[in-house]
Amino acid sequence: MKILALDSTALTASVALTENSELLAEYTLRNGNTHSETLLPMIESAMKMLSLSVSDIDLFACSAGPGSFTGVRIGAATVKGLAFGSEKPCVGVSTLEALAYNLVGYCGLICPVMNARRSQVYTALFRSDGKTLTRLMEDSALPISELDTILAEYGESVRFCGDGYDITIPELKKCGYIETPERLRHQSAYSVAVIAAEKFANGEFLSDTELVATYLRPSQAERELAEKMKNA
């Protein structure tokens, strides 16, 4: 089964093509939130190099959030469009789970963190046995100080990843951590593809109309509107 997976939920944009869980190609750019301009050319370039067309793809997958509101929408809309046009199924994957999968080869606690602004991070917690992930905490938006307290209760060092890495590490007062290599901190569409393949095998796939984005909290525009209505 050929899978086209993508992640555009943060500054890094990533596209991967796999044959089940075997990586055929991965294309990654980290040049800011210009995914509306770069994502489709990345897909086209990767497919052209492998002499593939959209009709050759059996499953489309994306990181469905949380993350940048614009980035999440771009990724989900791209996959929905490709799935609709080819009448193929799609899968939405938690961005945080995909980030954690980058570190699945390490045993221990893995905590993905994404910058949610206002001293908060989108986060979750997993334990890896070196081959598989076990989820310990659901996707959440938390202050870094609160996350620090939660992790300290486990009494062991944690590996972090995600674009919230650089703001989280300096704020840790109670929880110990293990340095994560730079290459493994950022979004990888290959991780999205592997998780999507597992979900598909378990019957957890969707049509293009059923795929929805996950934001965890209202956008800035929605928060500002709510505040205006409250003051009014």
Say how many C-beta atoms besides its own lie within 10 A of residue 37's C-beta.
Answer: 11
Which residues does 147 contact at the CB level (< 8 Å), separation at least 6?
A: 111, 113, 121, 123, 168
- How far CA 164 is from CA of 37, 112, 172, 219, 220, in Å, comes to 24, 8, 12, 18, 19
Would the pTM of this model clear 0.85, i.e. be above it?
Answer: yes
Tokens at 8, concatenated: 């555009």
Per-residue pLDDT of the chain (232 residues; tens, 9 = 90+): 999 999 999 999 999 999 988 999 999 998 876 899 999 999 999 999 999 999 999 999 999 999 999 999 999 999 999 999 999 999 999 999 999 999 999 999 999 999 998 889 999 999 999 999 999 999 999 999 999 999 999 999 999 999 999 999 999 999 999 999 999 999 999 999 999 999 999 999 999 999 999 998 765 544 444 455 555 5
Q: How many residues are recorded in the chain? A: 232
